[in-house]
A and B are shown apart, each in its own frame.
Chain A
């Protein structure tokens, strides 16, 4: 029984990281109907930024919450700038092009960032260990069930960020403008909403969450490599589809289910199915409910 709950805890903390990434996919899809395949690479850059920045606060790195938060903040800033650049350079010029062009561009951007990061004078192709920002401690232990401070950090940070996002999207003027653009860019511009600025803001939000996810992943599993974004991004994308792409609450639900599915598969079946489960879920959801759990199928406008 303890084992079951242990997997539950592990699954939820892994799932909340997927959720953070999945929200980024979903928001951009909601607003541009574009699957931003480069989003996983932004997550990777979040971790890479931390790798470079943490030693700047003093060598050897002294783990502390303050250090973690400083590194997190800097990663967020760096990733926001990257997100803005991706939007400005790669996607904006294609705003009126067919969707397939944008999709192929997204794959191109993703590959570009992966291989650019692998250059020797940038990060290199060899995986590196991520500096220890916070010392892992067991803070709660009962009958074999263990919860670490890192898991609490992951849960706490993820859900506070989601709360902030919820506030921005539903309570602020910018958030309302985002929802307006997502419903119809044409009508939004007739209301005086600067559509491009709203889209740029959406990329900043998504990139901040991706930076947080990258930092958390690297803190939990302290390894950084230039290709880590590919699989993380793909799984989070599946999570977004599972929840219903375009829906933020769907992305959160999809992310959590995805983390749990992966954790229970590893626990009760075999760890070699770890990655297979994601794609099994993708195939199943596309067969059974293509619009996702919380998604509503959009009626194509004529």
Chain B
């Protein structure tokens, strides 16, 4: 398996507060990797730093073997990295179709992929000309993921896709995550919902106060007592 994303020793600070204290991780192609951690552990900061939308003081990020330097977020999207941000990041005043269209901003050959998106998310097809702000939380999450898929990513970063959604919809989202991987897209999944995340993942990292506390295959982590106590309620 070839390496898609590699983060080395990343440090991010907001003023005096250090959010990431030397984080390293990697995602290989075809993998679903989970990044678990409580609120404030630095998960979202890590994703933002990977997307180059916050600057990091130390460390480096490699995507497709190339070190990311002086590259803008939008150029990174063009190269095949997409982030579905926490809180979904829907453009509420634009229609569902316009949101999807902008997901494919740098592409011209996206029209024929819409059918595939509708097949994954049938509800979007019914709501195409509605303002995205009028969608329910679950529908917005689907729009956010569908929109990101239209950028034709090689690696999809999902920031807490289950946050604030009903259990039934959460199951649906995790089913979709597997489905997306089967289409050849790798996924880095950030979750507080450790049970669900581990069920779909190949490997996982546990982030605590800016550092990787544990990492390994899902089987290893599931048998780790510390993780069980803190995140799986065992």
Instruction: Report which A residues bind B (CB closer than 8 A).
Output: 173, 176-177, 179-180, 183-184, 186-195
Q: Which residue in B72, B92, B93, B151 is a CB contact (below 8 Å) of A191?
A: B151
B102 x A190 contact (CB < 8 A): no
A-B CB proximity, top 10 nearest: A192-B77, A189-B73, A187-B89, A192-B105, A192-B106, A192-B74, A194-B74, A189-B74, A191-B102, A183-B91
Is there a chain A Cβ closer than 8 Å to B129's Cβ?
no
At the interface, yes or no: B155 with Cβ under 8 Å from chain A?
no
A187 neighbours in B (Cβ, 8 Å): 85, 89, 91
Distance between A277 CB and nearest chain B CB, rounded to angstroms: 33
7 more CB-based (< 8 A) A-B contacts, given A190-B89, A191-B103 = A177-B102, A179-B93, A179-B98, A180-B102, A190-B83, A193-B102, A195-B74
> Given the complex of chains A and B, what is the CA–CA distance between A189 and B92 in angstroms?
16
- Interface flag for B26 (CB, 8 Å): no
Look across to chain A and name the residue whose beta carbon is closest to the beta carbon of B106. Answer: A192
Chain A: minimal CB distance from B36 (Å): 23
- The DSSP consensus for interface residues of chain A is helix
Flag whether B78 is at the interface (Cβ < 8 A): yes
Interface range on chain B (Cβ under 8 Å from partner):
20 to 34
A169 to chain B, nearest CB (A): 11
Residues on B with C-beta less than 8 A from A176 are 94, 98, 101-102
**A184 in contact with B101 (CB, 8 Å):** no
Q: List 29 A-B contacts (CB under 8 A).
A: A173-B102, A176-B101, A176-B102, A177-B102, A177-B105, A179-B91, A179-B93, A179-B98, A180-B91, A183-B91, A183-B92, A184-B91, A186-B53, A186-B89, A188-B91, A188-B102, A189-B73, A190-B51, A190-B73, A190-B77, A190-B83, A190-B89, A191-B102, A192-B77, A192-B78, A192-B106, A192-B151, A193-B74, A195-B74
Bound form: Cα–Cα A191–B81 in Å: 10
Question: B147 contacts the other chain (Cβ, under 8 Å)?
Answer: yes
Which residues in A have their C-beta under 8 angstroms from that of B85? 187, 190
A189 engages B53 (CB within 8 Å): yes
- Bound CA span A65–B5, Å: 61
How far apart are the CA atoms of A176 and B105 in the complex, in Å? 10
Query: Which residue of B has the minimal Cβ distance to A170?
Result: B98
**Which of B78, B93, B102, B147 is most buried by chain A, counting CB atoms within 10 A of its CB?**
B102
Residues of A within 8 A of B106 (CB): 192
Give Cα A14 to B102, complex, Å. Answer: 38
A249 CB, min distance to chain B CBs, angstroms = 13
| CA of A193 to CA of B89, assembled, Å | 14
The minimal Cβ–Cβ distance linking A40 to chain B, given in whole angstroms, is 29
Q: Which of B65-114 contact A (CB under 8 A)?
A: 72-75, 77-78, 82-83, 85, 89, 91-94, 98, 101-103, 105-106
Say whether A183 contacts B53, CB under 8 Å.
no
Q: In the assembly, what is the distance between CA of A179 and CA of B95, in Å? A: 11
What is the CA–CA distance of A189 and B73 in the complex, to the nearest angstrom? 6
What residues of chain B lie closer than 8 Å to A180, measured between beta carbons?
A: 91, 94, 102
Say how far B163's CB is from chain A's closest CB, in angstroms.
Answer: 16
Q: Closest A residue to B88 by CB, please name it.
A: A187
Please provide the chain B residues from 30 to 75 with a CB less than 8 Å away from any CB of chain A in the complex.
Answer: 51, 53, 72-75
A184 touches B89 (CB 8 A): yes
CA distance A179 to B151 in the complex (A): 19
Whether A179 lies near B94 (C-beta < 8 A) is yes
The interface residues of chain B lying within 8 Å CB-to-CB of A195 are 74
Q: A residues within 8 A CB of B75?
A: 194
Closest chain A residue to B95 by CB distance?
A: A176
Given A173-B101, A176-B101, A180-B102, A189 and B72 contact (CB-CB distance below 8 Å): yes
- B93–A193 CB distance below 8 A: no
- Counting chain B CB atoms within 10 Å of each CB, the highest count among A183, A187, A191, A193 belongs to A191
C-alpha spacing A37/B51, complex, angstroms = 34
Max chain A C-beta neighbours (<10 A), residue from B51, B77, B83: B77
In the assembled complex, the Cα of A180 lies from the Cα of B92 at a distance in Å of 9
Q: Which residue of A lies closest to B52 (CB)?
A: A189
B136 → A minimal CB distance (Å): 19
A180 to B85, CA, bound (A): 15
With contact pairs A173-B105, A195-B74 given, residues A190 and B91 touching in the complex (Cβ less than 8 Å):
no
CB contacts (< 8 Å) of A173 on chain B: these are 101-102, 105
Q: How far is the CB of B45 from chain A (nearest CB, A)?
A: 14
Query: How many angstroms between the C-alpha atoms of A193 and B105 in the bound complex?
Result: 6
The CB with the most chain B CB atoms within 10 A, among A177, A184, A187, A195, is that of A187
